[in-house]
Amino acid sequence: MQPGLLKPGRAYSFLYPRYNYQQLPDRTELRRIEVVSIRDVHHEPLDPTTLPLNPLLKRGRWLVTGRDLDKDHERSFYFESMSNVKCLSEDELEPLNGVGYVVIEQTHVTFRADRLSEALAYRTGRQRGTVCGVLATRPRQLPPVSILDQPLTEQEYHFES
C-alpha cells in the first residue's frame, strides 16, 4: 500500500515494530489507528531539535499521525516501517457494539452473542476461549461467578437451536 492511499478520517490496522530503532530486532505488534494526517517530511521537515533526540530512530519520508484506537491517544508512525496495512470495517472498529457476551481466544474476539447461554454453548463446542460479559454504558446484572465455575446442566440453561 502506498502512503497516498491512506486517507485522513479512515481507520487502519497494521504491524509496526515494537521499538522502531536501528540495530534492534524487528518484533512487530498489531496497531490500529484512525488517521488524522499524513506528513511528507521532505516538504514539511521535522523540527531540527527533534532529530538529535532520537538519532537511532528509523525515520522515513511519510509520518502518519492518528488516534490510537487501543490506547485512545494520538500517536505517530513512519509509513516505511508499517507492514500489512489494512483498512478497518465498521464491524472491526466497534466489534462489541450491541453485544452482551463474547468468546475471546488469545487476543481476538471469535464469537459474539446477546445471551450468555449462546456464548457458553459456542465455547463448549470449541474447547477453548474465555467467555466475557461486555460492559454496557448502563449498569446491568451479570450472572454470579459461581455459575461459571461449575459444569452446566440442562436444567440451568436452555440452549436454543
Q: Are β-strands 73-78 and 62-68 bridged in parallel, bridged antiparallel, or unpaired?
A: antiparallel
What pLDDT sits at residue 144?
54
Please state whether the predicted TM-score (pTM) of the whole model is above 0.75. Answer: no
Residue 36 pLDDT more than 80? yes
Cβ–Cβ < 8 Å for 3, 62: yes
| pLDDT above 90: percentage of residues in the chain | 27
| Site of grid cell 508499517 | 82
Are 50 and 63 in contact by the 8 Å Cβ rule? The answer is no
Strand partners, 109: 104
Q: What fold characterizes domain 3-90?
A: SH3 type barrels. (2.30.30)
Q: What is the largest CA-CA distance in the chain?
A: 70
- Local confidence band at 76 (pLDDT 50, 70, 90 cut-offs): very high
Domain residue extents for the chain? 3-90, 95-149
